[in-house]
């Protein structure tokens, strides 16, 4: 069974540009989560999607947004990129509501120059 897959693996953007990151959950998982992990720091919760809707959002500005598609895949968009957005963006999925184990993809490294 395929795990959580993310693309691209690495992405380099310049300040002010937009970045789009994509995630495919494990088959049968309806919830998708996005986390940001800056180098050397902890995971910061960004967004939770379930059944196509945004269910919860972390303490990030509105330029961080996303969506979940009918096939439960998801994308994260970061507009007006800033240098401090450089980080590993991790997508995770789970069956239904939390309390179930979440499984992570290998992440997308975003570098803003």
> Segment contacting other proteins (CB under 8 A): 9-17, 19-27, 72-80, 88-96?
88-96
Distance of closest approach, residue 106 Cβ to other proteins, in angstroms? 5
User: Cα angle vertex 64, ends 58, 68, to 5°?
Assistant: 85
DSSP bridge partners of 5? 24
Please report whether residue 66 would count as binding other proteins according to CB under 8 A: no
The single residue among 45, 60, 67, 79 that binds other proteins, judged by CB under 8 A, is 45
- Report the alpha-carbon distance of residue 30 to residue 79 in Å, rounded: 26
By DSSP bridging, strand 10-13 and strand 5-7 are unpaired
Distance of closest approach, residue 53 Cβ to other proteins, in angstroms? 10
The single residue among 31, 36, 68, 74 that binds other proteins, judged by CB under 8 A, is 31
- Euclidean distance between the first and the last CA atom of the chain, given in angstroms as a whole number: 37
- Report the alpha-carbon distance of residue 82 to residue 107 in Å, rounded: 19
Please report whether residue 60 would count as binding other proteins according to CB under 8 A: no
**80: alpha, beta or left? (left if phi > 0; alpha if psi -120 to 50):** left
Distance of closest approach, residue 16 Cβ to other proteins, in angstroms? 27
Binding site for other proteins (CB under 8 A): 31, 33, 35, 41-43, 45, 48, 50, 55-56, 58, 88, 90, 92, 97-99, 101-107
């Amino acid at each position: 069974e395929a795990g959580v897959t993310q693309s691209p693996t690495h992405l380099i953007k310049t300040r002010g540009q937009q970045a789009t990151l994509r995630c495919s959950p494990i088959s049968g998982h309806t919830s998708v989560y996005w986390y940001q992990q800056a180098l050397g720091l902890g995971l910061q919760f960004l967004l939770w999607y379930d059944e196509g809707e945004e269910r919860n959002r972390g303490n990030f500005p509105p330029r961080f947004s996303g969506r979940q598609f009918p096939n439960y895949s998801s994308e994260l968009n970061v507009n007006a990129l800033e240098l401090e957005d450089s980080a590993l963006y991790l997508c995770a999925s789970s069956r239904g509501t939390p309390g179930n184990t979440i499984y992570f993809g290998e992440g997308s490294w975003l570098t803003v120059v």
